[in-house]
Amino acid sequence: MNWREYVRNVTPYVPGEQPKIDNLIKLNTNENPYSPSPVVKDELIKLAEDYDCLRRYPKPDCDALRDALSEYMGISPDKVFTGVGSDDVICTIFSTFFHSSLPVLFADITYSFYEVWAEYVGFPKELIPVKDDLSIDINDYRRENGGIVIANPNAPTGLALPLSKIEEILSFNKDSIVIVDEAYIDFGGESAVKLIDKYDNLIVTQTYSKSRNLAGLRIGMAFASPELISKIKAIKFSINSYTMNEPSLRLASAVLKDEKYFRECCEKVIKTREWSTEEFKKLGFEFPESSSNFVFVSHPKVNANDIYKALRERGILVRHFSIPRIDNYLRISIGTDDEMKALFSALNEIIK
């Protein structure tokens, strides 16, 4: 017997490059370009004065953050679940609900971690091709299935479905769990959280990594009916009960109190995105309309991989996917105004 025969082999998710290069302009991982709310610094000072709390385990139910999110969202605490980033949250949801022999449906061009989790958890999947314009046709989700996952806005395309279309998917699939992954919802689109009382098969996931400027904390959450949340918690607490640390719980709770700063940062990203799309057009780039904090661009005359390499040589990182149908696209995160001006200065040299 050889132990290698019993190793679970999966094709891992490939994250955006995180190199250690001085003066790098990093536009490849959709991080928010602005610092976290000042209340984070204030809370860190309080934490330093109360550091003895770190010798104890945090509460496994993450009560403080759960209750803070409950109050912020205007829903009861039993409709809230938290985890270490939305990746952890979604994987736990997959492990909880996707055990049917029927395939789980999600787009062929979407967050590629879904495929990794399908292989890891071991459920059948069916990748639904997006249309030529990269949009999702909701009629493709009117079929028998073991569950549905919709990223809205979608990544890497940036396209958002209106809430009415999400509701059509829910209405047709009342016997299936429907997950709406809203990692980018604060930059465009309308959240489906308002539908969780109407549809008991809906789970909405969100994250602090994008619009909350706190990717380094790894905090995600899910909103659903109390019954669904209780099922997710049963799995979570049976396999990984202590995951979120005390500093993360305190900082994540505190930042919800600074709504003004949150809105200002989102508005700055959106304003820069709209300016950037006009600049991309001037250079001849083509792209779907973005409702996220990135733009998914393609140039009809210059190869995307060549642009990616030329930008990297100039100290600017963007994301290139060597995947059929989108191998001539670049996903470019929205940075500060100065970072985007530097990007377009470089692109002017490369394209012209």
Cα–Cα distance for residue pair 66/74, rounded to 1 Å:
12
When pLDDT is averaged across residues 335-352 and rounded to a whole number, the result is 96
DSSP helix/strand/coil, 186:
helix
Dihedral sign, Cα of residue 130, residue 135, residue 140, residue 141: positive
Answer yes or no: are the C-beta atoms of 105 and 149 closer than 8 Å.
Answer: yes
Cα–Cα distance for residue pair 283/280, rounded to 1 Å:
5
Cα–Cα distance for residue pair 138/124, rounded to 1 Å:
20
pLDDT in tens, 289-313: 999 999 999 999 999 999 999 999 9
Going from N- to C-terminal start, the domains of the chain cover: 16-36+259-351, 38-255
Inform me whether the pLDDT recorded for 22 exceeds 90. no
pLDDT for 17: 67
pLDDT in tens, 257-288: 999 999 999 999 999 999 999 999 999 999 99
pLDDT for 60: 78
Inform me whether the pLDDT recorded for 181 exceeds 70. yes
CA 56 to chain centre: 31
pLDDT in tens, 201-218: 999 999 999 999 999 999
Output the DSSP codes for 166-178.
Answer: HHHHHHHTTTS-E
- Type of residue at 1: M
Q: List Cα–Cα distances, 83 to 167, 235, 238, in angstroms.
A: 26, 12, 14
Q: What is the pTM (predicted TM-score) of this model?
A: 0.93
**Counting Cβ atoms within 10 Å, is residue 53 exposed (0-12), middle (13-18) or buried (19+)?**
exposed
Inform me whether the pLDDT recorded for 57 exceeds 90. no
When pLDDT is averaged across residues 110-118 and rounded to a whole number, the result is 92
Answer yes or no: are the C-beta atoms of 92 and 232 closer than 8 Å.
Answer: yes
pLDDT for 100: 92
Q: For residue 133, what pLDDT band results from cuts at 50, 70 and 90? A: very high
What percentage of the chain carries pLDDT values higher than 70? 96
Looking at residue 288, what DSSP letter applies?
Answer: P
Inform me whether the pLDDT recorded for 14 exceeds 70. no
pLDDT for 131: 97
Which of 279, 256, 282 lies closest to 334 in space, CA to CA?
279
When pLDDT is averaged across residues 196-204 and rounded to a whole number, the result is 97
Cα–Cα distance for residue pair 75/203, rounded to 1 Å:
14
When pLDDT is averaged across residues 185-200 and rounded to a whole number, the result is 96
pLDDT in tens, 134-150: 999 999 999 999 999 99
pLDDT for 50: 87
Cα–Cα distance for residue pair 185/5, rounded to 1 Å:
43
Q: Which CATH superfamily is domain 16-36+259-351 in?
A: Aspartate Aminotransferase, domain 1 (3.90.1150.10)
Inform me whether the pLDDT recorded for 85 exceeds 70. yes
Inform me whether the pLDDT recorded for 20 exceeds 90. no
Inform me whether the pLDDT recorded for 13 exceeds 80. no
pLDDT for 12: 67
pLDDT for 3: 78
When pLDDT is averaged across residues 140-164 and rounded to a whole number, the result is 97
The CATH number assigned to the domain with range 38-255 reads 3.40.640.10
When pLDDT is averaged across residues 161-172 and rounded to a whole number, the result is 97
pLDDT for 129: 97
pLDDT in tens, 321-338: 988 899 999 999 999 999
Cα–Cα distance for residue pair 186/183, rounded to 1 Å:
8
